[in-house]
Amino acid sequence: MTIAKATLSDRLELLAFKYFYIDADHHASSRYTIEFNVGKESQSSNGILVPRSSGYKEWLSSLFNMANMINGYNNSYVSDCGNILNWNADQLVFVLRAHFLSKQSQTTIVYAIIKGNKILKTESNMPTIGYIFSDSIESDFSNFHSRSIWE
């Protein structure tokens, strides 16, 4: 079993057994630039969830349940999140919560499996309210303010 590791631009490292969560404080929209594979875009959302195999049954399963309820009206369903991550797999998933499409924000990079040498890179565009924490321990957070980079 592998522990997930995130490194911030100030060289601080965070570890997670279940997941990382990147968000803005006080229910504000999170604003950031996200880069994965060859894509890069500015985004605004209610946060980025990055679970590993031991944490995907919590928030990730609720997102899949919501997608299936919405898609159910058109008789199409998303595969069960239980089949996405194997307990022993050296991989993570990332998914954006309630991402917003606007003139300033895109919604193309919203979900993917991170494995092998793939890196999810995120740069904060939140002047003072951004943070990142792991495993539901909000009190053990790190600031994720403007120009902070997480990967």
Query: Residue 99 domain-assigned?
Result: yes
- Count structural domains, the chain: 1
Query: Residue 70 domain-assigned?
Result: no
Ramachandran region of residue 98, left (φ > 0), alpha (ψ -120 to 50) or beta? left
Query: Residue 74 domain-assigned?
Result: no
Element spanning 19, H or E: strand 19-24
Environment class of residue 100 by beta-carbon count within 10 Å: exposed (0-12), middle (13-18) or buried (19+)?
middle
Environment class of residue 86 by beta-carbon count within 10 Å: exposed (0-12), middle (13-18) or buried (19+)?
exposed
> Which CATH number fits the domain that encloses residue 50?
2.60.200.30
Distance CA 75, CA 29 (A): 31
Query: Residue 64 domain-assigned?
Result: no
Quote the pTM value.
0.81
Please, which residues have CB within 8 angstroms of residue 79's CB and are 6 or more apart in sequence?
Answer: none
Query: Residue 123 domain-assigned?
Result: yes
Per-residue confidence (pLDDT) for residue 91, from 0 to 100: 81
Query: Residue 133 domain-assigned?
Result: yes
> By residue range, what is the domain housing residue 125?
4-55+89-150
Query: Residue 78 domain-assigned?
Result: no
pLDDT in tens, the chain (151 residues): 567 888 888 888 888 888 888 888 877 889 999 999 989 999 999 888 888 776 666 667 777 777 777 777 777 666 655 556 666 777 888 888 888 899 999 999 988 888 888 999 999 999 888 888 888 777 778 888 888 888 8
Please, which residues have CB within 8 angstroms of residue 134's CB and are 6 or more apart in sequence?
Answer: 4, 6, 14, 15, 16, 17, 18, 19, 20, 21, 140
Question: Could you tell me the end-to-end alpha-carbon distance of the chain, in angstroms, rounded to an integer?
Answer: 20
Distance CA 134, CA 101 (A): 27
Query: Residue 80 domain-assigned?
Result: no
